Amino acid sequence: MFGSPAKYVVGLVMLAGVALSACSGPPNVVELPAQDTSKLAALHDYQVGPGDALDIFVWRNPELSARVSVRPDGRVSTPLIEDLEVTRKTPTAVAREIEGILGKYIQDPVVTVLVSGFSGPHTQQVRIVGEVGRPTVLTYRENLTTLDAMIAAGGLGPFAAGDRAVITRVTDKGYENIRAKLETLIKDGDIRFNQRLMPGDTIFVPQSFL
C-alpha cells in the first residue's frame, strides 16, 4: 500500500496517531510544552464590566465624587453626568472620559477611577466546567494560572480525566483548544504545567471512562 517497508511503517505510525487523537478529546487540540512561569509577563489591563463598583474621585470637587455600580446596560450615572458607557474600558480610560465631560463645567478637572468591586465583562472572565468540585466563573486577574482556577473550582472531581482537560481560547483566528495536564499538575505537583490563563478562557475537564 505504501510501497517500500519503510514507507509502510511510517504509514502505520501516522494512522495510529490519527486514531489516538480521535479518542483522546476535542479536535485540533494543541499540545503546549511545560511553561516556565518565572518568565511570564503581564497580559491585559482590567476592563470594567457590569456589576463592578467604581469609586470616582474628582480632585478638589468632593461634591462631584461618587461611588457607583455599573448597571446591566454597562452605564453609570454620576453628578453632572448621565448614562456614561464604561464597559470594556480601563479605569484610566473612564477617568479621562469623565474629565472631558466635566471640563464643560469646571476648570481642569482631575479624575481618578478605582474599581472596588470586580465582575468584569465576559471577555475578562475565566470559566471552569466539567468534572470539577464546583463549576466556577472567575474574574480574570494578572498572572492567573490553571492552578489558581482549579483551587477556586474545588479541584478535580472523583471521575475527572485531568490530563485530558482542555482550555478553549478565543484568538484572532477563532477558537483554539489547548491541552492542560491538570492531573499531573495537581496530583504530581509538577508546577511546569501550571499554565498562564488568558481573559475569556474556558477550562473543560472531561470525565474518565475507566
**Cβ density class 61-91: b for 16+ within 10 Å, e for less:** beebebebebeeebbbebeebeebebbebbb
pLDDT score for 125:
85
> Is beta strand 111-117 parallel, antiparallel or unpaired with respect to 81-85?
unpaired
The residue-averaged pLDDT of 85-94 equals 93
Q: State yes or no: pLDDT of 7 exceeds 90.
A: no
Task: Label residue 46 by pLDDT band (50, 70, 90).
Answer: confident
CB 170 within 8 A of CB 44: no
pLDDT tens figures, 125-139? 899 999 999 998 888
Q: What local confidence, expressed as pLDDT, does residue 203 receive?
A: 96
pLDDT category, 170, cuts 50, 70, 90?
A: confident
pLDDT tens readout for residues 18-45: 344 444 444 566 555 444 444 333 345 7
Cα radius of gyration rounded to whole Å, the chain? 24
Domains of the chain and any CATH numbers: 53-117 (3.30.1950.10), 121-210 (3.10.560.10)
| Share of the chain residues as helix, strand and coil, in percent rounded to the nearest 5 | 30, 30, 40
Please report, for residues 114, 120, 199, the alpha-carbon distance to residue 72 in angstroms, rounded to integers and kept in the order given. Answer: 19, 11, 20
Whether 193 shows a pLDDT value over 70: the answer reads yes
